[in-house]
Amino acid sequence: MTDVHPPELRVALVGHGFMGAAHSQAFRVAPRFFDLPLAPVMSTLVGRNAAATTAAAEKWGWQKTSNDWHEVVDDPDIDLIDISSPGSTHVEIAVAALAAGKHVLCEKPLANSVEEAEVMAAAAAEAAKKGVFAMVGFTYRRVPAITFARDLVARGALGQIRQVRAAYLQDWLVDEEGPMTWRLDKSKAGSGSLGDIGAHAIDAVQFITGQTLDSVSGLLHTFVTERPLLDESVAQTSLGGAASSERGQVTVDDVALFTARLSGGAIGTFEATRFATGRKNAFRIEIHGSKGALAFDLERENELEFYDAEAPSDLLGFKRILVTEPEHPYFANWWPTGHTIGYEHGFSHQLVDLVNALAAGEQPTPSFADGLQVQRVLEAVERSSDGGSAWTTTA
């Protein structure tokens, strides 16, 4: 800790749903555990509904509110705009913010289409030339077990990667009477399981293996095509709320299944589903290489299983590593050995990496170009599904 206080990074957050809460917690907590070169200031919370925005700002500790995101884009006191609103809003806000010289952190998936993502990536590339940077929020990269998995692959502990198995399993749609929300409306969410949680699977696998998904064969499926509309007169969350007697069309996928060929010669299977009865947030990744293997499950996010194929022949097995030691990514700044962290901590780690990059004048990762590449994979899965699961390139 130095005597001199770090310069401020004044933040506006757009959106106050689930993601808004998670991002607010990161702005509040990260500076208390990590020595940051810039001091985030929770300046403005942006939301369309004045009362709800004010309530959220007060609850989460934002200094002021706005009901029009243009205001923060125009506000000279804002340094960073954090976009946590639905995917359909990303492109307009991000492009305007970057043009106004604001750094941008944008929730995933980057956009609702490749076209939008291309616009965003182009705007980000242009802004970067002026030292204004954009980052997309694939937060799970910053779960210590996943970051450490990447490190293990990078240091060659798995040898040549051959097989990947990624499944993001949730079950919150199993009940056929569960209501419609914006997440089930293609015009707002872009896609269903595919973009919401399948995007995480794509990014995490690419991040860990250092390989990209070059072509895919996919199937999107919707089990329940009509659901009760939400009663708009009752308070609701982004994942649910009170149902009315009317029904609306579900226009996104419940399940996305796809197979992929990766750039380094690996092949992989992917699944994203909200119909995996019994699995609440089971984001599972298994990677098999010529020298070793890894297994991870987000329901046990403080653990990584590692198999060293070069161990003595009677001592082969998956080792359950508690990724809670000072030697593990990000952990030295938290609690003593063996004391766990939870879901929200990944958001703090993301902020740490973003702030460090901004202070250094470097491009934070994943960039909008990275987000665009994931968007292309998502679209390729959709096209493959529309085309009878024919192999489809992602380039």
- What stretch of H or E contains 128? helix 114-129
String of contacts with a second copy for each residue 98-137, x by CB under 8 A: ----------------------------------------
Among positions 142-201, residues that touch a second copy (CB under 8 A) are 148, 158, 162-163, 165, 167, 170-172, 174, 176
Q: Is position 13 an interface residue for a second copy (rule: CB under 8 A)?
A: no
Which amino acid would we find at residue 200? H
Stretch that binds a second copy, among 16-24, 179-187, 194-202, 362-370 (CB under 8 A): 16-24
Stretch that binds a second copy, among 8-16, 100-108, 215-223, 367-375 (CB under 8 A): 215-223
CA separation for the pair 46, 44 (Å, rounded): 6
Shortest Cβ distance from residue 93 to a second copy (Å)?
24
- What stretch of H or E contains 12? strand 8-14
Q: Which of 101, 138, 103 is nearest to 347 (CA)?
A: 138
Q: Which two tokens stand for residue 395?
A: 């380039």
Q: Is position 300 an interface residue for a second copy (rule: CB under 8 A)?
A: yes
Among positions 240-269, residues that touch a second copy (CB under 8 A) are 255, 257, 259, 267, 269
Shortest Cβ distance from residue 188 to a second copy (Å)?
18
Q: Which is nearer to a second copy, 90 or 328 (CB)?
A: 328
Q: Which two tokens stand for residue 192?
A: 């269903």
String of contacts with a second copy for each residue 54-83, x by CB under 8 A: -x--xxxx----------------------
Q: Which is nearer to a second copy, 25 or 206 (CB)?
A: 25
CA separation for the pair 198, 262 (Å, rounded): 16
Q: Which is nearer to a second copy, 175 or 246 (CB)?
A: 175
How far lies 371's CA from each of 202, 306, 336, 368, in Å? Answer: 10, 28, 35, 5
Q: Is position 222 an interface residue for a second copy (rule: CB under 8 A)?
A: no
Q: Which two tokens stand for residue 132?
A: 């204004």
Shortest Cβ distance from residue 364 to a second copy (Å)?
24
Among positions 279-298, residues that touch a second copy (CB under 8 A) are 279-282, 286, 288-293, 298
Sole residue written with tokens 């706005």: 66
Q: Which is nearer to a second copy, 18 or 50 (CB)?
A: 18
Burial of 222 (0-12, 13-18, 19+ CB in 10 A): middle
Sole binder of a second copy in the list 76, 245, 388, 395 (CB under 8 A): 388
Burial of 196 (0-12, 13-18, 19+ CB in 10 A): buried
String of contacts with a second copy for each residue 307-346, x by CB under 8 A: x-x-x-xxxxxxxxxx-xx-xx------xxxxxxxxxxx-
DSSP string, 81-108: EEE-S-GGGHHHHHHHHHHTT-EEEEES
List all residues 6 or more positions away from 372 whose beta carbon is below 8 Å from its beta carbon.
Answer: 110, 114, 117, 118, 120, 121
Structure letter (DSSP) for residue 151: H
Stretch that binds a second copy, among 68-76, 126-134, 348-356, 382-390 (CB under 8 A): 382-390
Q: Which is nearer to a second copy, 232 or 327 (CB)?
A: 327
Q: Which is nearer to a second copy, 15 or 289 (CB)?
A: 289
Q: Is position 371 an interface residue for a second copy (rule: CB under 8 A)?
A: no
Cβ count within 10 A of residue 131: 12
Shortest Cβ distance from residue 233 to a second copy (Å)?
19
Shortest Cβ distance from residue 391 to a second copy (Å)?
5
Shortest Cβ distance from residue 47 to a second copy (Å)?
15
Residue 228 preceded by cis peptide, ω within 30: no
Cβ count within 10 A of residue 55: 14
Q: Which two tokens stand for residue 369?
A: 């170009």
How many residues line the site for a second copy (CB under 8 A)?
Answer: 91
